[in-house]
Structure formats: structure tokens, C-alpha cells
Amino acid sequence: MRPWSPIPIVDNGEPLEALPAWLQRIEPHPYQALGAPYGSSGCPFRLRRGVIERLARAVAALNREAPGWRLAIFDAWRPIPVQRFMVSYAIGEECRVRGFDPGAGGPALRDVEEAVGRFWAPPSEDPAMPPPHSTGAAVDLTLVDASGTLLSMGGAIDAIGAVSEPDHHAAAAQHDPHGERARWHGRRLLLRRVMAAAGFVQHPNEWWHFSHGDQLWAWRSGSPTAMYGRSDVS
């Protein structure tokens, strides 16, 4: 259970909508490319209407600080079957990285499951505890410069480990303000700043994950309720 899981949800009924053309997408969609089960009509590039409106504010804030830069969407709505598929995939990949067979079980597998669990929400079927992306309130994204180049953020989206924590490069940036890690840290701070200006909150373990209106948002913002629950629209 996450610390935000007990927060009640009062869904406001906003629909999922396709992301507008002014939001750049990272394509092919990374999870669809792996074979994640979205179904024939399950487009992942959708969010709640109010979340899309706030992304427009974030883009405006970004352009005030870095003219011509854009947000690039890595992932948005994620139904429960996809969450289940990706949790299993992430566990398998982390086992491969660590050099053992996940079928062997034991303490090594439990360590992997714990590490993956810091980043991947359980694929809960309980409507009171939906994974953030299943609500259409959460988005994974990064920065693109004026030339259309994806900018390095000092760690890949979905990386398992400390490198994914938002302030991972902060100490190095302070030690060497003109070094590469300082640039990475500055970009992470910029992304967090423009998203916060639009009313989003950041996942405590993931530099790329932001949400508005879900239980995580309520927990971080002090709201007594969340406004978006699980959306099963496909």
C-alpha cells in the first residue's frame, strides 16, 4: 500500500480525451512496442480533460523560461492489464540485469520485487486504490529543445534505482555547477518547476512522473479527496 492509498476518491466524471497535436509524443509508444495489452482501441495517449488543460499551462510556463522548448509525452493513460504486464516485464528485466532466473524465486527475487515496487504501482483491481496512470491523471514526460531534440535528463525514464529520484544529481551539481550532472539537475528542476506552476505534483521517486487530481496528488497537495478514480474506457 502507498501512503496515498487511503485517500478517498470522489470522481468528477471528466472523460479521457486524446492528447492534442501540440503535445509531442514519443513514438512508437514504448509499452505498445513491447506488446502490452491495450486492445484494438486502447490508445495510451489520453488523459482527463482537466489534466490536458493543465499541460497547456505547463507548456506556456516552459516557453517563458526556455523559448521553443516542448514537453514530450512518454506515457499517459495505462489500463490495469497494461500495468500488470509492465510490472511483470520490469521484474523480468531487473532479474536479467542482476543475472538470475526470476523463476528461481527466493530472497533475490523478493529484492527485485521490492526495488521494482518503488517505481511501479501494483496492478490493483480495487477501485479504491487505482494505479495512478489508470486514472488518466498521471503522465510521464520529458523535455525537448527548440530543435526537436530529446534532452538528456541524467537517467532513463523507468530506470530502476536511485538515478531516477528527482534530486539524484543535486549534490554533484552543487560540487561542480558547470558539469554535465549540473545540466541534468537543472533540466529536472525546470521540468518540476513548470509542471508545479500548472498544478501538478511529482512522484517522489520518479523525475518524469507528474499527476493532477489522483490520490498521489491529493497526498502531496493536502487535498482531503482525489478527483479522479480508475478509468476503464478503452
What is the tens place of the pLDDT at every residue in 113-150? 999 999 999 999 999 999 999 999 999 999 999 999 99
pLDDT in tens, 40-49: 767 899 999 9
CATH of domain 16-221: 3.30.1380.10
pLDDT bucket at 233, cuts 50 / 70 / 90: low
Does the annotation mark 206 as catalytic? Answer: yes
- Where in the chain are the domains? 16-221
Task: Work out the average pLDDT over 154-173.
Answer: 98
- The pTM for the full model equals 0.96
Helix (H, G, I), strand (E, B) or coil at 109: helix
- Whether 193 has a pLDDT exceeding 90, the answer reads yes
Beta carbons of 157 and 74 less than 8 angstroms apart = yes
Distances (CA, A) of 18 to 23, 134, 142: 10, 15, 19
- Active-site position among 17, 27, 113, 206: 206
**Pick the residue with more confidence: 232 or 226?**
226
